């Protein structure tokens, strides 16, 4: 592979790595939103438990006020009994007293039920508060980790972008403009593709012997007739070294493999 094509392949790898980092940055926002949703849900559950307790307590208070009113009615009618002149009036008052007493007993039963409910609602509210606190601590931690992850990814994007731009400026003008014209800033779009089994690694169009010949000459940038991507031949991988022990790392020859993973 000539230096220009090798440079473009390297540039493409840098762009790909940069895209992956940018995607990582972009994924932070929805993850943060998800945490906010879970935070709101935990808070809502806690509020609901509190409200159920307050409602039950209020209901009990009202029932007790009603009981007091029934007691008052019984006392008032009992006093009135002394002043009645007729049997009918007496019976009428007595039946009102009986009715008030009955209603009072009914209300007292309801208060007992409410008291049991309040006890379990108090437990639920307390548990809900603890749970909400636990969830909040957990989500605070997740938010903080996300902030750190985002800051790191953003800073890495800056570093990699600077490296990429510096590398890009070092490439020949024509190669740069050809690459940009094909790539057109599309994230993940491969502008430089290998020829695999005599087809274009980008669009699978068969490569004519003439085109293959031109690519193999490595004299100029050759593009696919089907998709206009820049074509290259993957160098044959260096034969695996039988035993690395036989090659001293300090004095032995450097084993350089130019094999590249096929571009998408």
Minimum gap (Å) between residue 208 Cβ and Zn ion: 12
| CA distance linking residue 225 with residue 208, whole number of Å | 9
Smaller CB distance to Zn ion: residue 196 or 205? 205
Binding to Zn ion, residues 217-256 (CB under 5 A): 224, 226-227
| CA distance linking residue 237 with residue 242, whole number of Å | 14
- The answer to whether residue 216 forms part of the interface with Zn ion (CB under 5 A) is no
Cβ within 8 Å of residue 63, ≥6 positions away: 107, 110, 111, 114
Minimum gap (Å) between residue 4 Cβ and Zn ion: 19
Q: How are strands ordered across the β-sheet holding 199-200?
A: 199-200, 192-196, 230-232
- The answer to whether residue 203 forms part of the interface with Zn ion (CB under 5 A) is yes
Q: Give the count of residues interacting with Zn ion (CB under 5 A).
A: 7
Binding to Zn ion, residues 3-22 (CB under 5 A): none
Part of the chain binding Zn ion (CB under 5 A), chosen from 153-161, 204-212, 232-240, 247-255: 204-212
Q: Is 85 left (phi over 0), alpha (psi -120 to 50) or beta?
A: alpha
Minimum gap (Å) between residue 190 Cβ and Zn ion: 10
- The answer to whether residue 202 forms part of the interface with Zn ion (CB under 5 A) is yes
| CA distance linking residue 187 with residue 17, whole number of Å | 10
Cβ within 8 Å of residue 121, ≥6 positions away: 49, 52, 53, 56
Smaller CB distance to Zn ion: residue 121 or 200? 200
How many other C-beta atoms can be found within 10 angstroms of the C-beta atom of residue 169? Answer: 9
Minimum gap (Å) between residue 5 Cβ and Zn ion: 15
Binding marks (x or -) toward Zn ion, 132..171, rule CB under 5 A?
----------------------------------------
Tell me, what DSSP letter sits at residue 244? G
Cβ within 8 Å of residue 257, ≥6 positions away: 237, 238
Minimum gap (Å) between residue 172 Cβ and Zn ion: 23
Torsion of CA 11, 14, 16, 22, to 10 degrees: -130
Helix, strand, or coil (residue 156): helix
Contact pick of 11, 21, 200, 215 for Zn ion (by CB under 5 A): 200
Minimum gap (Å) between residue 225 Cβ and Zn ion: 7
Smaller CB distance to Zn ion: residue 224 or 263? 224
Minimum gap (Å) between residue 140 Cβ and Zn ion: 51
Residues that bind Zn ion (CB under 5 A): 200, 202-203, 205, 224, 226-227
């Amino acid at each position: 592979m000539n230096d220009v094509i090798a440079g473009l392949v390297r540039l493409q790898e840098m762009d790909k790595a940069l895209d992956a980092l940018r995607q990582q940055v972009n994924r932070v926002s929805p993850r943060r939103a998800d945490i906010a949703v879970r935070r709101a849900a935990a808070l809502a559950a806690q509020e609901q438990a509190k409200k159920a307790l307050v409602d039950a307590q209020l209901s009990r208070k009202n029932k007790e006020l009603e009981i007091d009113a029934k007691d008052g009615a019984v006392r008032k009618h009992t006093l009135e009994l002394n002043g009645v002149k007729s049997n009918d009036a007496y019976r009428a008052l007595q039946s009102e007293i009986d009715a008030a007493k009955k209603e009072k007993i009914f209300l007292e039963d309801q208060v007992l039920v409410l008291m049991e409910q309040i006890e379990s609602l108090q437990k639920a509210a307390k548990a809900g508060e603890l749970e909400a606190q636990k969830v909040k601590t957990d989500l605070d931690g997740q938010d903080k980790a996300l902030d750190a992850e985002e800051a790191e990814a953003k800073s890495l994007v800056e570093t990699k972008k600077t490296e990429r731009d510096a590398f890009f400026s070092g490439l020949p003008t024509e190669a740069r403009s050809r690459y940009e014209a094909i790539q057109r800033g599309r994230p993940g779009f491969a502008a430089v593709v290998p020829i695999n089994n005599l087809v274009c690694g980008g669009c699978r169009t068969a490569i004519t012997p003439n085109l293959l010949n031109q690519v193999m000459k490595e004299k100029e940038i050759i593009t696919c007739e089907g998709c206009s991507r820049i074509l290259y031949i993957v160098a044959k991988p260096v034969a695996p070294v039988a035993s690395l022990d036989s090659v001293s790392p300090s004095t032995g020859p450097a084993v350089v493999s130019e094999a590249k993973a096929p571009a998408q």
